[in-house]
Structure 1
Amino acid sequence: MQDDFVANLRLLCGYYPSIAEVCRRLHINRSQFNRYLSGRYRPRHAALQRICALFGVEEHELYLPQAEFRTLVQVGRDVRAAAFEPPAEWPSALLARGQEGMARYLGCYFEYYRSMSRPGQVIRTLVCLETREQGTVYQRTERMQVRPGTRPCHNRYHGLAFRLADRIFLVDYETLNGNEVTQTILFPSFQSQVHRLTGLKLGVADNSERMPSCVRVVYERLDEKMSVRRALEKCGLLSPDAPELDAELHDRLRNDIDPGEQHFRARH
């Protein structure tokens, strides 16, 4: 019977010049690592964390069927290889102008909004913005557990961010399944430190209905001391009374319409 963990680990090692280079980066003895590659031993928790951090995968993904894992890894590499190359239709002047003032927003955020596919619940995702030659790019990762006791499923979005006329625009596409494009528009922050950003998000419910939906959204800047792995562990669905949701978050995430309003509007 095929050992998917071993096959997946070997696949990841194939992206490096040698096993010796992988061991050097992992700070793992070569003979010990060979035992992992042979299937004789499984890495303990600390070693497994280093392996996942080096290769940019999550622990549960290493146990996926090899064909599924190969597709997941190849999609990720194709996206990185493309370096978020903007489509030819994006005017270069717009890309350049949209980067003015974006440096202060680089970093990682928790994104909160009322779930489009799980009514009554709040979803918390991880958004990481960084600068590349093409401009400000980001990855948005959704982590959802469909049923208690099951492994969480993931959606990964890659996109471009712009600041135009005192609004921040984020446009991304889902890279694992290729089934969605979303747009988010945020108010910028005029405080000395960026803490929370509010706005609107337009997307499609991730269920069989695939209903186009618009929700109020909050971006909350992460403490720089929090690792990406720890942040991902905190992502997922939250009940409305979860202690992580303070009164201010509750107020900003309400999807109500005031009397006399003719449109669903963001609230600063």
Structure 2
Amino acid sequence: MQRGELSPAQLRQVFGENLRRLAADAQSVSQLCRELGVNRTQFNRYLHAEAFPRPDVLDRICSYFDVDARILLEPLDALREPCRQTGALRELTSLLSGVGALEVPEDILPSGVYLYRRVSSFNPGAIHCSMFALSRDELDVARIRGYTPVDASTRIGLGRKPGKRRFRGLVFRQLLGFSFVISMEQTSIMVLGGFESRYLGNPKFYFGTSLSTQDVLIPSPILLERLEPDCAAVMAARCALGMHERAELSPLLRGYFDRYAPLS
């Protein structure tokens, strides 16, 4: 039977079962009723699927147990994961908005296309380069979108298909510079890092470090390069993608990685 075909009595059974599970951890049902501001007799009717609560009572129940009104219609197990996600997002939003972390200034970190270079996880003598687009959404949140180059994605078992190689992330403002979090869409791999602007005074380069959840013991120096905002520059930069030996890099790039990730 589909949910839309359930009778009122069956819907009350769903809510009653949910409420019994939510109230199971309470030390005292009487104390729980006092905290909810609900009559004990009426609460027992909810528990035994004999009645639905009024909207104001339902709101107090949902707020108390950190759930939403879907407990009237859907089993609790089907709601737990979305509720956990909502709670985590609410906490993260509170942390970020409290320090103005979402206010990423366009004049220091413009929207556009960037090259992202780091020491290779497979060969310390090589530098890995990928490309991403930085944009602002309608709420002015700085977002990252890009694809892992084929050579790297095949090494970690993701294959060649674009959907498997796609990553996305967010950029946040810090007291000095910026931080970011990137996540692969098809796996649990994440990259966390931070960077500052104007490497050697050059406004096109941003320098910092990153840490992959693949190898949390070895942070890597990173160097971001902002490309000129035209199609020709982006197309020309495609030859830089993938893995390159340090000797192939320009003196500026090679000097940075030799300084912050010297070869033993």
TM-score, normalised by the number of residues in structure 2: 0.52
Residue identity matched to 2:146: R
Which ranges of structure 2 fall in alignment gaps of 5 or more residues? 1-87
SS at match of 1:241: helix
Between the aligned partners of 2:128 and 2:181, the Cα distance in structure 1 is: 19
- Given candidates 237, 249, 254, the residue that maps to 1:250 is 254
Render the CA deviation track for 1:38-82: whole Å, top value 9, x for unaligned.
xxxxxxxxxxxxxxxxxxxxxxxxxxxxxxxxxxxxxxxxxxxxx
Please state how far the C-alpha of 1:98 moved relative to its aligned partner: 1.9
Task: Verify: 1:182 aligned to 2:191, yes or no.
Answer: yes
What is the one-letter code of the residue matched to 1:223?
E
- The aligned counterpart of 2:100 is 97
Q: Secondary structure at the match of 1:224?
A: coil
The answer as to 2:143 corresponding to 1:137 is: yes
* Deviation for aligned residue 1:118: 3.4
Aligned residues of 2:113 and 2:132 also touching (Cα < 8 A): yes
Compute the displacement of 1:223 (Å): 1.7
Q: Which runs of 5+ in 1 are unaligned?
A: 1-85, 258-268
Q: Whole-Å Cα distance in 2 between the matches of residues 213 and 88 of structure 1? A: 31
**Structure-1 separation of matches of 2:172 and 2:257:** 23
> What code does the residue aligned with 2:257 have?
L
1:213 lines up with 2:218 in the alignment: yes
Cα distance between partner residues in 1 of 2:202 and 2:240? 23
C-alpha change, 1:175 and 1:231, in structure 2 (3 Å) is farther
Aligned partners of 1:102 and 1:136 also within 8 Å:
no
Alignment partner, residue 203 of structure 1: 212
The number of residue pairs the alignment matches comes to 162
- Name the % identity: 17
Look up the equivalent residue of 2:96 and give its one-letter code: L
Aligned 1:1-268 pairs, distance under 5 A: 87-92=89-94, 94-95=96-97, 97-104=100-107, 105=109, 106-134=111-139, 135-145=141-151, 155-176=165-186, 178-189=187-198, 194-205=203-214, 212-226=217-231, 231-232=237-238, 234-242=240-248, 245-254=249-258, 255-256=260-261
Q: Confirm or deny: 8 A CA contact 1:204 1:213 kept in the other structure.
A: no
Q: TM-score, normalised by structure 1?
A: 0.52
Cα 1:191/1:212, change in 2 over 3 Å? closer
Structure showing greater Rg: 2
- If each structure's helix is expressed as a fraction of its own residues, which one has the higher value? 2
State the 1:222 CA deviation: 0.8
Contact 1:102 1:162 in 2 (8 A): no
Q: Return the offset for 1:229.
A: 5.8
